[in-house]
Structure 1
Amino acid sequence: MIKNSHQTISTEVIKWRRYFHQYPELSFEEKRTSKVVGEFLKSIGLHVKENVNGYGVVADLIGSEKGPTIAFRADMDALPIQEETGLPFASKIPGVMHACGHDGHTAILMGAAALLAAQKNKLKGNVRFIFQPAEELSPGGAIGMIREGVLHGVDAIFGLHLWSEFPSGTFWTCYGPMMSSTDHFMIEIEGKGGHGGMPHKAIDSIVIASHLIMSAQHIISRNIDPLESGVITFGKLHAGTAFNIIANTALLEGTVRSFTPEVRKTLQTRLEELIEGLEKIYGAKITMNYRQGYPAVINHDKEVEMVIGVAKEVFGVENTRIMRPVMVGEDFSYYLKEIPGAFCFVGAGDPNHPIYPHHHPRFQIDESVLPLAVQWFYRLALEYLQ
């Protein structure tokens, strides 16, 4: 009976995922998705609270005996991308696509909720299911969910991310820092335009911008401990109007990534000091708007041990691995700053299709891993609450 219910849920999870994929919704616009989620959670007897921090949904499964409360989180939002996969269940919403796997995350957690609801008499404690809006849009949905009390009474929290760049059916996590903080800066250089043949009468904003870009890389190599990690990337540089005119202004935009608060602070401070120095050297006016984004995802050791143990049972010992931290961000980090927990990746690279990175218009996942992810949540709850 239990085996049959697990097989049924596996089929339903794929159906749910395909439905969400066809009807993706941008950050803080997840109205249709949250309605489907909320109605389903009510139908299996959970205590459901809707419209949390916008379209967030929080549901509690109360076990048969008193005990700790464990929380699982899934993000629901999509991205402003025109899908090019050609899938029969491709997005029907122009310019919006689930290009990061959140459709799968939502379906997986619904499946886990269904299985656990059927076993609530075995639970010595409670499970809270958090369906979060707006992971993709800074400052993210996690902060608002926390402010609305979703972590009150929760002892530990866990989450996963489907990851197309890892082989399908593998499980990855690590101790301590796993994903980086994600800061964003915009810099405007106001020089003095002039004739391309008379640079001595101008203040060349492009030369200053070039100096700034190159010098910023020395912050990484000369101000950060070689055993630590940090990134300063300039992704945009706009300047000039013609080949023979010295540009009056230059606009730069980029990101700063790190794994520790100390390195994060150093990178910002040194970038500010560099700008002050270049102003004096060149006589230009340089302004920077620096915005701190998500903090680093830092796992807690005890919870990592637990998720690895469960993963070995579900994915197999040979498919459960310790990963190196990656310089991408996730607002799950805010939950881990409040309470113990752990985050992980589930490999979902489709072996039958070319592997495209997350946020790509041809991004796909291997749906066969969804039932494994459901089982991981299910067994994790049983172990924690038994």
Structure 2
Amino acid sequence: MSVKEKLFQLLEDKEQRMIEIRRHLHENPELSFEEKNTAQFIADFYQDKDVKVTTNVGNGYGIIVEIKGNGEGKTIGLRADFDALPIVEEADVEFKSKNEGVMHACGHDGHTAYLLTLGEALIELKDEWRGTIKLIHQHAEEVPPGGAKSIVESGILDDLDEVYGMHIFPTFDTGVIKIVSGNAMAGRSNFDLTIQGKGGHGAVPNKTRDALMAGSYFVTQVQTIVSRNMSPMDSTVVSVTAFDAPGGYNVIQDKVTLRGTTRYLEEENKEFIRERMEAMCRGIEESFDVTCTLDYVYDYPVVYNHPEEAAEVKRILEGGVGNYLTEVVDGAPGSGSEDFSYYLLKTPGTFINVGARPVGMEDPYPNHHPKFEINEDALLICAKGLGDVVLSRLEA
């Protein structure tokens, strides 16, 4: 029996416990940078195993588990995140969140469960493969600055030759895996804008410097950054998502605040968006006699799947079609963002999308929805798929 066959048998034997781990984590979610109990659960899982465990890595509760194989070889990183979201759960499941207002609505509980199980199986077989595997249990993916950047900056992953991760999506069929080569997920920046004017009575607007009018002009003008300044071949979005100007019927407020987000699949566009927004603010100041304060924060970079590694991952996983997979397809780039991008900036690798559509649900709820659910059959698919990839790449 090959080492891969042995690995798959172990994973099948451990599947029920993997599901139980996922449900335990789902019942006990913790927000980004607050995952103390989750991190302790992960560390305790490896306590009596023959591995090196480093805790509190980066700017939070990150954990790196180093597994040494039987002899020298590549060093490969496998990552799963473990933070939850500030969402009141509405999913009809028996293992509903016990932490009111916090929910695993993005699948990170499943990510952690499959990586713990895969890690345990790889440890049990470590005399049968060569090289080193580093399991990256990452905190705080959901909230910038995120956990990945600080883990990379810690230097603990400087020896990686390749890095891989998987993400569960209930919006496509269980058994399907999607691979995107090149720019796979959007880069992201967020902005806050305060416009300070001079308030006054609604009956005499000429005595005011109307910040609300200036803010309304900004909302309209900012859309021209994409429509009139960027190539129609680029994938870029600028969205104002909040406009706050509370007040009464007859009072023109002296200040408004706006906030929003920008997404881009071409990393070079992030600077241009900021420059245009700053220029618009200067124009608004001149036109409306107000003061604009723009706080523009560069967030997660574009997720770039290295083409050579993406092609190899696709080839490896296609070998699992008819066994643990039904289909491997070329995916389309997405406008969501992910701080897995920081690992790929430093190390070649690929971020893999895994289908987890619940049985009988034709129109499933997407990630970050309060009724988010997954098909737990996807957990074994993730564990086998990532195990297949890592064993194949260690031999390459």
Structure 1 length-normalised TM: 0.95
The answer on 1:311 being equivalent to 2:317 is yes
The answer on 1:155 being equivalent to 2:182 is no
Instruction: Give distance in 1, aligned partners of 2:158 and 2:290.
Output: 51
Instruction: Give distance in 2, aligned partners of 1:323 and 1:275.
Output: 38
Letter in 2 for 1:26: L
The answer on 1:23 being equivalent to 2:28 is yes
1:165 alignment counterpart: 171
1:381 alignment counterpart: 390
* Residue 274 (structure 1) aligned to one of 267, 280, 303: 280
More displaced stretch, 364-373 vs 108-117 = 108-117
Instruction: Give distance in 1, aligned partners of 2:285 and 2:276.
Output: 14
SS in 2 for 1:232: strand
Native 8 Å contact 1:9 1:114 kept in 2: no
More displaced stretch, 29-38 vs 211-220 = 29-38
Structure 2 length-normalised TM: 0.93
Native 8 Å contact 2:166 2:386 kept in 1: no
Displacement of 1:165 in angstroms is 1.8
Native 8 Å contact 2:85 2:142 kept in 1: yes
Displacement of 1:157 in angstroms is 0.4
Instruction: Give distance in 2, aligned partners of 1:315 and 1:263.
Output: 38
Native 8 Å contact 1:185 1:289 kept in 2: yes
1:49 alignment counterpart: 54
Structure 2: tracts of 5 or more residues without a match: none
2:17 alignment counterpart: 12
Instruction: Give distance in 1, aligned partners of 2:255 and 2:221.
Output: 19
Native 8 Å contact 2:184 2:304 kept in 1: yes
Instruction: Give distance in 2, aligned partners of 1:356 and 1:318.
Output: 22
Instruction: Give distance in 2, aligned partners of 1:308 and 1:28.
Output: 34
The share of aligned pairs that are identical, in percent, is 36
Letter in 1 for 2:378: V
1:198 alignment counterpart: 204
CA separation of 1:151/1:291 partners in 2, compared to 1, >3 Å: closer, same or farther? same
Letter in 1 for 2:39: S
1:67 alignment counterpart: 73
Displacement of 1:110 in angstroms is 1.0
Letter in 2 for 1:96: V
Displacement of 1:148 in angstroms is 2.2
Instruction: Give distance in 2, aligned partners of 1:307 and 1:122.
Output: 21
Deviations 1:255-295 (A, max 9, x none): 01112232111111101101101111111111111111111
Deviations 1:190-227 (A, max 9, x none): 12223333333322222211111111111101111111
2:117 alignment counterpart: 111
Displacement of 1:315 in angstroms is 4.7
SS in 1 for 2:295: strand
* Residue 333 (structure 2) aligned to one of 325, 342, 346: 325
SS in 2 for 1:366: coil
The answer on 1:187 being equivalent to 2:193 is yes
Displacement of 1:4 in angstroms is 4.5
2:99 alignment counterpart: 93
Displacement of 1:158 in angstroms is 0.4
Instruction: Give distance in 2, aligned partners of 1:101 and 1:21.
Output: 9
Letter in 1 for 2:335: M
Instruction: Give distance in 2, aligned partners of 1:368 and 1:41.
Output: 24
Letter in 1 for 2:155: G
SS in 2 for 1:51: strand
Instruction: Give distance in 1, aligned partners of 2:89 and 2:193.
Output: 32
CA separation of 1:131/1:204 partners in 2, compared to 1, >3 Å: closer, same or farther? same
Deviations 1:306-353 (A, max 9, x none): 211222223558621112211111111111111111112111121334
SS in 1 for 2:228: helix
* Residue 355 (structure 2) aligned to one of 339, 347, 351: 347
More displaced stretch, 254-263 vs 345-354 = 345-354
CA separation of 1:10/1:69 partners in 2, compared to 1, >3 Å: closer, same or farther? same
CA separation of 1:263/1:29 partners in 2, compared to 1, >3 Å: closer, same or farther? same
Instruction: Give distance in 2, aligned partners of 1:284 and 1:335.
Output: 42
Instruction: Give distance in 2, aligned partners of 1:176 and 1:315.
Output: 23
Instruction: Give distance in 1, aligned partners of 2:232 and 2:100.
Output: 46
Native 8 Å contact 1:21 1:103 kept in 2: yes
Instruction: Give distance in 2, aligned partners of 1:91 and 1:333.
Output: 29
Root-mean-square deviation (CA), in Å? 1.7
Letter in 2 for 1:30: E
Displacement of 1:101 in angstroms is 0.4
